[in-house]
A and B are shown apart, each in its own frame.
Chain A
């Protein structure tokens, strides 16, 4: 009896992880030849790398109890700037770095508007998203940037090191770095404190505005990097290419909150959330399930995960 209780507790606490495992097992049984192969698993890591990186940024902003709805537009802009610069013949390293720095600045602007004028981050970043969308369209003339992109620009997106795609390596490195930052540095602690109780953080002498601004800025920089990675992988940049990642990023981050019992935004949770979404998309594609069914299933799984966690935490009787 006691043992059974413990098992159900475990399931409640880590239901999302169990669900992930069940998904993997189901696909493995259904298509052992195509799904559970080293090649496909490595392929999945590359497929989710963009989602993970953009979702890491969204997670940071969620940690300070705000939202950044402009991550999709930032990714689109980042990719377009990088591709344009590559076409113009700038050194590749600069093509990668410049959009990140520019978007860091845009993120600071997001944060400044939110903290200085106490505008809801929802509204601020929604408006910013619209502004960026308009700007990107003007900047590209609405066309995909793909002609005359040098081959070196696509190395990061297509090549592998020791059999592991470079994009996957970037993703893993960033995940580890941000896990460390959020878990073991004063900076990360302060972000969590602000998200936990802003007033108490202020009373404790934490410069709340500064750290919120930084969270927005880092989030924007990561979104830009995602756009750059996408452009490098595709060898082209579409003015709305990153927009679709925005909802997915938050889906991953919200799934991530459900991974651990505490229910706070966290780096490994977000990684797991993105992985579940990626595995689902990959497996369903292999099973030749139509895209609309994939969307349907993904949405249902997110709602289920959040409900199960709420019940597990005892919020709902």
Chain B
């Protein structure tokens, strides 16, 4: 469950990024609508993943190192994503180009965080 939520964050932010690129190139506003909903979806997945990560950390014997790093990165990803959601709430081209930049940062962060999170999972083994 935790892994699904975590892994789901990546394609949602990536979808937002691709939609933003499409809007940037075509001025077709439907793309920025898509991006807004994809970001909202990413925030739900990412937010629930944070809850799992927090519970895992509290239950873990060792409360430092990789599990902590993972949680912090996940939280930063969510905050960037949330700022991006507000940026995308601006009308029409007002969301550009900052919205596109934030989508790029959020996507990269989600990738890195997921890599770290899943690596931990391979090492820890718990489902």
Bind each other = no
Q: Which residues of B contact A (CB under 8 A)?
A: none
